[in-house]
Amino acid sequence: MKLDELFRLLAEARRICGHSDYVVIGSNAALAFAGSTRLPDDMVMSVDVDCYTRDDPGRIFDLVKELGEDSRHHQSTGIFLDAVSPALPTLPDGWRDRLIMLEQGACRAWFLDPNDAAISKYARGDVKDLRWIRSGIAAGILSLPTIRMRAGRTTFADAQEKDRVITQIEIDSHWFDNARSAAAGVAGEIEIFKR
């Protein structure tokens, strides 16, 4: 997904419901950096925008029929709005204070800080989420020390979720250290460090 596509979707949402401010969570939170760095394909391949109306989170669900999956909008543009609740993701304390606001036209998108999004993705543990995280680490968009610190400030659903997140952070730390060492020991860079 491209940032302009996301804003066109939000403009349509604004036309329908009147709200101008949307909080974007999930994979497309990476679009907060679209203007400042090249985003890895694995971070922006999602065709759905997980979001909610900032000032009235429940209002977002009224948009599903016209902008959600399999809607006319989805069929004509290839992207859709995935209405979510702010209570859905597992996020570290203070995440609201770190939202990144971008404005286009009459709409404002408040993007979840990608390091906060990584906590949620680790908690979910899906293969595509772990690929998103590794792509972000390799591109320098995500910081493992920051993610580790924020994991320590997260209220998890249960002990199993917490253990899964902490374990995966350590696995990715070893992966990154090994990949960086391999890149330093050969002529040229390995694929993940070419971005």
Distance CA 122, CA 119 (A): 5
User: What is the rounded end-to-end Cα distance, in angstroms, of the chain?
Assistant: 18
Percent of the chain with pLDDT over 70: 94
Compute CA 119 distance to the chain's CA centroid, rounded to the nearest angstrom: 10
- Give how far the C-alpha of residue 19 lies from the chain's centroid of Cα atoms, to the nearest Å: 21
**Has residue 181 got a pLDDT over 90?**
no
Residue 24 and residue 49 in contact, taking contact as beta carbons nearer than 8 Å: yes
Q: What percent of the chain shows pLDDT beyond 90?
A: 86
pLDDT single digits (tens) 3-59: 999 999 999 999 999 999 999 999 999 999 988 888 999 999 999 999 999 999 999
Calculate mean pLDDT across residues 151-178: 96
Q: Give kind and range of the element (H or E) at residue 33.
A: none
Distance CA 28, CA 17 (A): 22
pLDDT higher than threshold 80 for residue 191: no
